[in-house]
Amino acid sequence: MCRGHKKGTGEAEALGRSRGGFTTKLHARCDARGRPLAFVLTPGQAHDTQGFGPLIRMIADRIDALLADKGYDSDAVRDTLTSINVEAVIPARRNRRNPAAHDRVKYRWRNQIERLFNKLKNWRRVATRYDKTAEFYIGFVSLASVLLWLPFVHDA
């Protein structure tokens, strides 16, 4: 008798398949000083816009502009941001027929999120995702985030 593995648990644990094996995307939100504020996990093959919905629901009433990369450039994302009066600072994809303009000066601040990911991936456990469940992985990401907040807490 052959025992099969449980099907359908990969999506629940934010595990996606690729040629290299299992992958996970970590979507994050940070403030202007690069401090982590919120995280959302999606399977690795999922489009970036799938992580947009949960993140924007967490912060919609507290921001004036959303800075994101080209992966978040879609009409649905732009319409959502317009409906809640948030400026979309998202460069247009190269193949877009009607590219939307974005504020290049504000877009330079997006490197804060890149720096945040760089600091988080210094933790080997975050960079490689050894954890089997999404709950444990996001828990360790949160723990690493707390350690990134400590220098700011002591400054105040």
Q: Could you give the residue ranges of the DSSP H alpha helices within 40-133?
A: 49-59, 75-83, 104-107, 111-120, 124-128
Domains, the chain, ordered by start: 9-130 (3.30.420)
Q: Which residues contact 2 (CB under 8 A, 6 or more apart)?
A: none
Number of Cβ atoms within 10 Å of the Cβ of 35: 15
pTM for the whole structure: 0.77
pLDDT, residue 120, reads 92
pLDDT, position 115: 93
Specify whether the CB–CB gap between 135 and 46 falls below 8 A: no
Rounded Cα distance, 142 and 135, in Å = 10
Higher pLDDT, 142 or 153: 142
Tell me the residue length of the chain.
156
Average the pLDDT over 120-148 and give the result: 89
CA distance 117 to 126: 10
Helix (H) or strand (E) segment spanning residue 127: helix 124-128
Write the single-letter amino acid at 148: L
pLDDT tens-digit series, residues 29-80:
888 888 898 898 888 788 778 888 888 887 767 788 888 888 888 888 899 9
